[in-house]
Amino acid sequence: MPANVITYLMGYTTLLLVLLIITSLIYSHYYSIQTHLARLGYQSIAESIAGQIITIYRQGYNSSTTLKYPVYGPDGSIYDIIIGYGSAIKQIFPVMKTQGINDQYIYVVVKSGDGRYYWYRIVSSSSNIILGNPSNQVDYYMYSSSVILRIETKVIKNYTYITIQYMGLRKT
């Protein structure tokens, strides 16, 4: 083979390798950007849910508005939760009328797979709600499709802090 053909083939091979490396870098960078944008999207879901809780709070305890979400429980099962004032919760679950739920508090109610109900109070009607992150108490995990969100609440000096954080994708 003539020397100029060998030089040409080496140059061509080097060019192909450089293009391949550049293409793979662009490809991986593009997908890391896509992942980042997806995470931002999931965080906006979390902020939307927190915003809806605040909207219910501002409507006052006569509000019949409730939020319904599936919950990814610690045992891997899926439960439905309802968030709303006690008065609205009692309309959805009449059994709650005898459970000591106060109309003037916002509750999270979980109906488990075995038909039992669990609940906790988020905030009283006289408190204020702030989005923040002072809490170390994980109340529950929630997901929309396969997105896991961690919701934390904590009352400090009559203010309820709610943090909803994107935790990743649920493994199927």
Domain positions in the chain are 3-169
The answer to whether the CB of 78 falls within 8 A of the CB of 71 is: yes
Q: pLDDT-based confidence at 145, cuts 50/70/90? A: very low
pTM for the whole thing? 0.47
Dihedral (C-alpha) 71, 72, 74, 78: value to the nearest 10 degrees? 80
43 has pLDDT over 50: yes
Residue 134: its pLDDT value, please?
A: 33
Average pLDDT of the chain, as a whole number: 62
Residue 153: its pLDDT value, please?
A: 56
